[in-house]
Structure 1
Amino acid sequence: MHYIDSKGKYFTKKLLIEANNAAIREDRNRQLNEEYLDRLTDENVYPILLSFDEHNRGEIRVQILFDEKKGTMGFLDLTKNRYNLLPAAIVKEDGTVELESKESINARRLYPEGREYIEKVSRTIIRDNSFRTKILSAYDNQCAMCEKDDISILVAAHIYPAHLCADDTVNNGICLCKIHDKLYEDGNIYVKSNGEIFIVDRKTRIDFGNIRLPKNKSDYPSPERLSQRLELSMKRGD
């Protein structure tokens, strides 16, 4: 039990299944395999190794340890409210760990046990219209990962998130169709600093091995920004 985040948060099997069911109902990006969770041991607890504030939008992504010996871990998205209601372990001076009682855990429930609810997080995206114009122009109104050139489905995607760097230069953007933008945002595909496309989900198929670069070299995506995005995605477990 020494693998716990700074707040000592952990899941019981029951709480983990409830949180995963909520992630499925709320259509969150990171969900866990339901059959795998059903096979978990009821007596064990499953500590949170790391937690990430997802774009400061009221959502938390947690990394959960399932089996310390095998190094089995998983990622799950949940609201900050649900995260805050999770039990916390206390490490005593002698190194032993004290878990919360079932009564203490149930006392914080928003609803009686077995009652399901849905939490929706408001997501407001503020974009600079000139950024889209610059990016689409640089990529000649065509997705950098396929041949799609319908402007209505093209997205000016930030490489390194704008809320982390406020960089709206053309070098921090890439033109993608909505399909590849979703795959890129969800971490199913990466772009390395040299422009090579790395596919995480084997079911995903992309005809290009590298992104198609703009005609003008001055508009090329920044290798530094690509590296930063890759590092950020790896930290999140994408």
Structure 2
Amino acid sequence: MKDSIKKIIIFLIILIAAVTVVLYFFPQLWLVPMLKLRFSPYKNPSVYALPISREVIASTVDLTGFDSVSYFGINFRSPWRNMREKNLSSNSVLLEFGNGNTVFLFSNKDQPTMLDALLGDDPKKAEQIRSMFGPEAIKTNYALQKLMLNTTPDDISIYQSKKEVVAKSILLILKPITVPWPTQVEPKIYNFITARKIKGFQYGDPWDGKVIIDFYNENDESGSMLINGLEITQNDIDFILATLELNYPPDTILNRR
């Protein structure tokens, strides 16, 4: 009897050790099911949202008479009139227009980025991250954000390599933090590029009364704007995007003309 119990204990120890080794060297066996359970489409629908590509058509309207908005090196024309400046700080400003629409403009100059946080200060860790994601995927903040937004739980599988699963797991964990409305039933994300080579992402539709824009220039400098109002159309947003320019001054934090 004692020998039988001893054999069972030895067998259990060997089994636990074997399972531990397998899970350590093949984390995808537990990581993938855990992530799929955590990021279910019912609890986190935003993680399943994919960017829809759209082209911003350059405005053919005569820009004479439209207000020119310029803060922090971010410039655009407003489709609305009677602009009032409110709550100006070193890197953000709230603009209110006569029809009640507002634009909350953010400068990301000298702000920590997701890419900075991912690479960290340790060169060895940074090299591991580059190896994991590939050099092109983390070449710029825009490339990393685009890769993250195009990743869903459907893209991971226990049959993928450890490196691939870990990389996609990081992106999935970051994605609901980035998407502004993680609990929205059908969150909309649009990927755009303008004739002035400004590219980025639009979160939400104007008829919802709120849209967030993340935008980048060719140098990977970025900014954001939150557009609120009951009288917003996609044409209004495209008018802003089509005239949008971003060129941060090298030394000046605040620049308005």
Task: Choose between structure 1 and 2: higher helix proportion.
Answer: 2
Name the larger-Rg structure.
2
TM-score normalised to the size of structure 2? Answer: 0.20
- After TM superposition, the score normalised by the length of structure 1 is 0.22
